[in-house]
Amino acid sequence: MEYNAKTTGRIDPAADPERAAMFMEVYGSYTIPLLSPVPSWRSLSIGERLCYLVNLRAITPDQRRRLIDYISRRFDIDPASVEADLDQIGMPVLTEHITVTSSDQGLLFSMMDDRRLNSDDPDDDLENHLYDQEDDEEWGR
């Protein structure tokens, strides 16, 4: 599988041979591209579950066709409905099924909590440590 993905998920074939076989059938690999290293809660037929989403733009048209065929067969759903659902809701993968690797440094920095840096509380130790009054005057505060 060729793609330039910053975030990937890999299934361990020893830990989950059935799902690993599905990955090989559909993707031709134990590794898949993901939209984000941050999972989200999804409402699935098995209930609310924490999932990653496959980056459907990073898979090949042949992989997408195999994914649609696989889901259609497994759940006895019309392939056109599967394709529409993929476009609308994406392809979730349960967090417990894969190990995620990401080199998306921008995401890491965007997730850092800067609430205390923007605090107006004069007793906020972090802000007092990082900024002194001279900094406030320089920055126009």
pLDDT value of residue 108: 57
Q: Which residues contact 103 (CB under 8 A, 6 or more apart)?
A: 6, 7
**pLDDT tens-digit series, residues 78-133:** 999 999 999 898 999 999 989 999 886 665 556 555 554 555 555 554 444 444 55
Confidence check: pLDDT of 41 > 70: yes
pLDDT value of residue 3: 43
| pTM, 2 dp | 0.70
